[in-house]
Structure formats: structure tokens, C-alpha cells
Structure 1
Amino acid sequence: MASTNGETDQVLVEQRSCGRIFMLNRPKQLNALSNVMVSRLLELFLACREDSSVKFIIVKGKGRAFCAGGDVAAVVRDIKQGNWKLGAEYFRKEFTMNYVIATYRKPQVSILSGIVMGGGAGVSVHGRFRIATENSLFAMPETALGLFPDIGASYFLSRLPGFFGEFVGLTGARLDGAEMLACGLATHFVESERLPLLEEALVKANSSDPVVISTIIEEFSHAPNLKRNSAYHRLDVINKCFSRRTIEDIIAALEKVVADKKDDWISSTIQSLKKASPISLKISLRSIREGRLQGIGKCLIREFRMVCHVMRGEVSKDFVEGCRAILFDKDRNPKWEPSKLELISDEMVDRYFSKVDDGDWEDLKLPINSNLPAYAIAKL
């Protein structure tokens, strides 16, 4: 593999006759997206977009993870040093990359073997083809960190069947490869031992036609069975409860179901919600609901405003506290503030969705991308 000119080769690039393979290369950090990686990936996607010799792109991760998310530890350090803008600039660049991927003309094949969380979903789910394996583990765990599902998640979560996206985004539920395929987060399921043969077949085909690429992937794919205890089998109760208007209503609906009949899965779902940051739950639900009616560009612009308010910490400092409890001290005992849902007013939630009141600060400006394919135009 040819190395990059980036710091410690955090993204490896393999040049094949008609395609490019980008390998995320921070295996010890589960390929968490550093600022260097985001910059490099954005640069690579933009360069390949203009290169007529590149017909498709494969993205994968080295080691046991595809990508465990954004490197939020570095962002928290910036906030603690009184420089929220530095942390926010990381998200500005990341969200720009998400938009470039979502509106890309050339087919992207993401091989989602291992852990796919947070920012890892942003590098992959917006692309055309997403291949899950028996090793895949997907989650959007942001509400447990005092954040919210970002990277355009309000766009793709809100488009999962029924209210499954609300369930995944609010609880941080973990999904395996079969569940990713069933709900549409993945487009195909391929056993990991067959992935090298699939890569070779894609290179040999020498095509940028999505129909040709899809046909090749399907030759290696099969539909796995969902486990008996899969959350996807509970879509009826998820739709019944997670369609409610507020977090309080969702929890009350779940508690009513479990009061009528003991159910360990519902009990653990309630516990996940009660452990999460109350302000994160409130803004996450509103974000996903707004995402149902918005294209990917509007979702990312809104989410960038939200993330800036999280960085500033003027309503709540739960992001710093959540990272302390989960990532740094690892006591898993965050002290949320506000500590209860009933202490959060509509005005507090509204502030996360407002323009940042800072004369020097700009909203997210997305690049203009001409000659978009029809599937990408539908996202705008």
C-alpha cells in the first residue's frame, strides 16, 4: 500500500487500475477519526472526484474496527482549554466530508467489518454501498456521552423503517450485521472471509456503473437470519412507543407496556434512556424529527449549529462530563446537569437550534457539487 503524506500514515491509499482503496489506519484507537484523518479523507475524496481514471472508491478499516467514531477526546481537550472554536472546526471539516460523500458521483463501497460508531457511520452510511459482515457492530452512542447523533444522522436515522431510527439514536442500541441489513443501514451482507475475493472482482470489473457494482456485490452476498432476540423483531412496540411526541411520553409508553407484561428487553431499553443525558435526549429527538423533513445538506447545517452550542456549553456541559465518565475516568457515572428531563424547558432546547450568537462565527457552508447523480439529488 502506498502511504500518505499525512501524520503517521493514518489513512493508507491503495491505487488499483480503476479504483482507490482508502484504509483507515489507527487500529489501536479503533480507527477513531483524528483531525488529520478527516483532513486527509476530505482531500482524497475531492481529488478522486475530479480524476477521470478513478471509477469507484472502497473504504475500509485496519484491525478489528471499521471506525469507532470521531476523536472526541481531542475536542474535549480544546473545550477545557477554553477554545470551543478549535473543537468546532473539527466538526466543520467532518460535516463537509459527510456532505461530499453523500453527494458523490462515483460509487463508494464501504466494508463495515468490526465496530462502526458515530463518525464511522458518517464516513460510510452516506455512501452508495455499505457491506456488513458477521463481525459488524453498529451504534450511535452519543446520548450516553452528552452529545447527539450528528454527522448527518438526523437524515439517515429518520429514514429507517418506522421509528427504528429514534430507537437507535436515543438508546445507543447496538446492532449486528444482520440487523444493519434488515433496517437499511447496510445494503449488503458478505461473510468476512469472502471480502478479498469481492475486492478483486470489483477491481477486475473496471466499472463505475452502480448496477454492475451492485450485481458483483450481490454475487458474494446473502441474507443472514436475524437473531431471535433482535430489536428488529420488536418493531411493533418500537413504533408504538418511539413515535410519541416527547421523551417523557416515550418512556411512559415503554413503562406502560412493561407494567402490563414483564419484558427484559423493554426494561433494559428504559434503563438506557434513563442513564443518558437528559438534554441530549431532548435535542436528539427533535433533531431526528426535523431530519424527516430535511435533505442531507439542511440536516448537516442544523447539526453544526447544535454541535457548536454543545461545544460552548452555555445551556449544559454534559458533553465534557459524559466524556469524563465514559472515556477518561471510566467510572461510567456521569453527573448530568440538568439532571432530570422535567428541568429542561422548551427554551433551553430551542437554543441548540438557533444561530450561534458570535460575530466572528459562521454557519456551515457546504460545497456546491454539480453533475450529481439522481440518487444524490434526491438527498438534497
Structure 2
Amino acid sequence: MSDVRVSSIPVSGGKQILCIRIEAQERLNALRHETTAAIGDAVRRGDKDQDVVLIWLEGAGERSFCAGGDVRSLSYEYLSGNKEKALSFFTTEYRTDYAIHMAKTPVLGFAHGIVMGGGVGILAGCRHKVLTSGATLAMPEVSIGLFPDVGATWFLNRMPRGCGRLLGLAGFRMDAADACFVGLGDRVVREEDREAIFETLCGLDWSGHPERDAQAVDAVLAHFALPLEAGFLAKKPECLRSFALAPDPAAFGEALEAAGRREPHLAKAAKTFADASPFSIHLTWRQLNAGRHLSLKQAFCLELILAARSLEQKDFHEGVRALLVEKDNRPHWQDAHLGAVDSEVIRGCFIPPWPVLHPLKDLPDPALAAGWS
């Protein structure tokens, strides 16, 4: 049985709403290769179909929109010798995320519960980012020896100053208000209003013109939106400023630790940073700096290089073992502390492993002047 259910709902004027639902509740809708492939195929087909006026993306069950990639399976495949299959997971995932970003047909992500890693990547590309009031978002990759990917090189760098570092380096967990502040949410609604929102959208007089239809969708969402007060991040500009001004990972850690002592809301992020893979911290730091001015395509191309190199490192597999397989929560990182990380190892992670063409070279990007090929 497929992890993805795709259905077409007829609406006015002979048009359709394409509904894509991730159905893997037993693993919190975590993404496997076939899951992301099916989502990407459905999005691309819907975007080409002139009768499709809206693409609706959601996760089944009460607990999660999408908890990220199924990294347990990914690590197992790699360690079992299926290295190309493991890397193809990232290639397919990035193609799917990019297709969502580039779709001309409005895409609505209805995100509830847990939204992490790959789930954030799906949501980030949606034209309409709808969060339920109980949603929790995070990019926790540094905790398992990885780095924030799925386009994070691009969207973390476009958040209010300091926020991208807090999310990417410390896995800060955001509620709906924080997510809207950083640009990962547009509207916050009650989860129980999902059916009413969908039915109202089905009853619209659809024009078939993407921009006009997107405005009509937003008017519906505005009707159901909850009043939103400023969240934690919006109220703490001094903390964010200290994170943005940190000159290196160690200084960032010191600023975060100091902020965590004053602000209990940051204490968990400070612990996440302290316990994270030193390799991942340095890799993410350089990733965010290098990606500051990249296009979206360039960002995904860079991330595929980093993903390929991260699979070669011990820390990813050790992080998966410690946090997700044996769950002893005691990873033995390849570097004892931040100061022990070899800068040449980090530099090497930015060198493409492919002798000729980058696997994502064919992604459409008319604005791209110079790629990673």
C-alpha cells in the first residue's frame, strides 16, 4: 500500500482540487524514498493539468503533518552497501521540494502537529502555509549528525536576523506564532476547522487563473484565521541580535547558553546545541554563510553535495543509532568538542563527489547564472 493517497475533487467550471495526503501514521508521516517520489509526481502532474486549480497537501492522523525523513532506513541502506540508493533519497526529496516551490498552480500545505525536517521542507515551498494552533516546527538535524537541508540553505537565510542560526544550529522548536514570524506560516487556524475550510474552497467560483485563485484562497483562509499575538521570537530581538552577531560557532553557543539562563524558552535549544554533533555544527555554520546569496536551485544543489559527504561521515550514522535505533541518547561523536573539528574535513564536504554533472543540474531555474555543474 502506498504511503501517499492522491485524489481529485471536482469544483466549479469543470476544475479540480488535487488532494495529496501522506498516510504513514505509524511513523508520524516520515518520508521514505517512495513517499517523496509519489508526492513529487503528483505535484508535477497537477501543475501541468489546466483543470487543477489548487493542490492541497496534508498529513493523515492527529499527531503529525510530517516528522521529516525516515533517516533510520536511510542510514541502514547506506551501511548495508546501498550507497546510491541512500543518496537517491535526497535527490528525489529535493526535486519534490523544488517542484512545490516552483509550481504555478497554488499549493496549500495544511500542517498540524509535528512538522520537522523534511516536513518543513514541504511546507516551505507552499504558496499557502496553513498551520493549526497546535503545530510544532523544528529543524533538528544537527542532533543526528546531519545538517538542515530541504532548502534550508535558502529559507533560513531569509528569516529575521538571528532566527536562521537559532533554528539550524540549535533545532529551536517553534509554535505557530513563531513559525509565522520567520515566514514558515501564513495563517493559523483551528485543526477542527479543516473540513469547513476544505468545503468552502470547494465551493469557490474558480477562475483557472493562478493569481486570482490564490487571492480567493487567501480570502477563505483569512476568514478562518485565528487572531495571532506576537510569539516568543518576535518579542526577543536582543537575543536574536546576539545570535546574528556571533563570529563563530563557539561564540554562538556562548550567546545561546547565556540567553538560555535568562529565557527558559531557549534553555532546550541551548542543550540541543551543546549535545549536537560538533561536525554538524561547523558544517551548518559554513553552509549558512556560503548559502547567503544563493538562488533556490543553487541551494538545493549545494545541499545534495553536503548530503553525499555527510553520508560518508561517522556522525550521521552514530546519531541515528543513539537517538533513533538504540535510543541510549549517548552518541559518540567523531569530534569531542567544537574546537576539535578539522576545518579541512568541513571544507572537503563542499567538494562535489560527482566527476562530471551534478544530479540536480536539470532543475529549471531561468534566473540562474552560474550553477554547481
Q: Aligned in 2, Cα 1:88/1:222: closer, same or farther, shift over 3 Å?
A: same
Aligned to 1:120: 119
Structure 1 residue 181 corresponds to structure 2 residue 197: no
Identity value in percent = 27
Matched, 1:322 2:319: yes
TM-score when scaled to structure 1?
Answer: 0.88
Tell me the distance in 2 between the aligned counterparts of 1:266 and 1:109.
Answer: 31
Structure 2 length-normalised TM: 0.90
1:28 corresponds, among 26, 29, 40, to 26
* Aligned twin of 2:13: none
Relative to structure 1, is the Cα distance of residues 232 and 277 closer, same or farther in structure 2, using a 3 angstrom cutoff?
Answer: farther
Give the counterpart of 2:334 among 332, 337, 340.
337
Give the 3 Å change call, closer, same or farther, for CA 27–179 of structure 1 in structure 2.
Answer: same
Superposed displacement of residue 82, structure 1: 2.5
Which runs of structure 2 are paired with 1:88-107 in the superposition (5 Å)?
88-107=87-106
Cα deviation for residue 231 of structure 1 reads 4.2
Change in 2 beyond 3 A, CA 1:268/1:369: closer
Per-residue CA distance 1:279-300 (angstroms, 9 max, x = gap): 1011112212233211110000
- Flag the 1:75–1:256 CA change in 2: closer, same or farther, 3 A: closer
- Hey, what does 1:301 align to over in structure 2? 301
Q: How much does 1:24 deviate? A: 0.5
- The one-letter amino acid of 1:180's match is A
147-156 vs 216-225, which moves further: 216-225
Amino acid at match of 1:367: L
How far apart are 1:369 and its partner, in Å?
A: 6.6
Distance 2:142 2:72 in 1: 16
- Unpaired stretches in structure 1, ≥5 consecutive residues: 1-7, 373-380
CA distance in 2, matches of 1:254, 1:198: 40
Q: Deviations over 1:280-339 (max 9, x none)?
A: 0111122122332111100000000000001122xxx10000000111001111111112
8 Å Cα contact 1:164/1:238 also seen in 2:
yes
* Alpha-carbon distance change, 73 to 211 in structure 1, aligned in 2, over 3 angstroms: same
* Equivalent residues of 2:282, 2:346 under 8 A apart: yes
Structure 1 runs (4+) deviating above 6 angstroms are: none
CA drift at 1:362: 4.1
Aligned-pair CA distance for 1:49: 1.6
- The question of whether the paired residues in 2 share the 8 Å contact of 1:164 and 1:235 is answered with no
Structure 2 CA distance for aligned equivalents of residues 114 and 189 of structure 1: 12
Describe the superposition over 1:92-130 as per-residue Cα deviations: whole angstroms up to 9, x where unpaired: 011111111111111100001111101111112111111
8 Å CA contact 1:95, 1:300 repeated in 2: yes
Q: Cα gap change, 1:12/1:76 in structure 2, threshold over 3 Å: closer, same or farther? A: same
Q: How many residues align?
A: 357
Q: Provide the aligned C-alpha RMSD in A.
A: 2.1
User: Following superposition of structure 1 onto structure 2, how do residues 196-275 of structure 1 map, counting pairs within 5 Å?
Assistant: 196-205=195-204, 206-207=206-207, 208=210, 209-226=213-230, 230-255=232-257, 263-275=263-275
1:42, distance to aligned residue in structure 2 (A): 1.4
How big is the shift at 1:84? 2.2
CA distance in 2, matches of 1:263, 1:187: 26
Instruction: Assess if the C-alpha contact under 8 Å between 1:113 and 1:135 holds in 2.
Output: yes
SS at match of 2:58: strand
Matches of 2:89 and 2:51, distance apart in 1: 30
- Indicate how the Cα distance of structure 1 residues 164 and 334 shifts in structure 2: closer, same or farther if over 3 A, else same: same
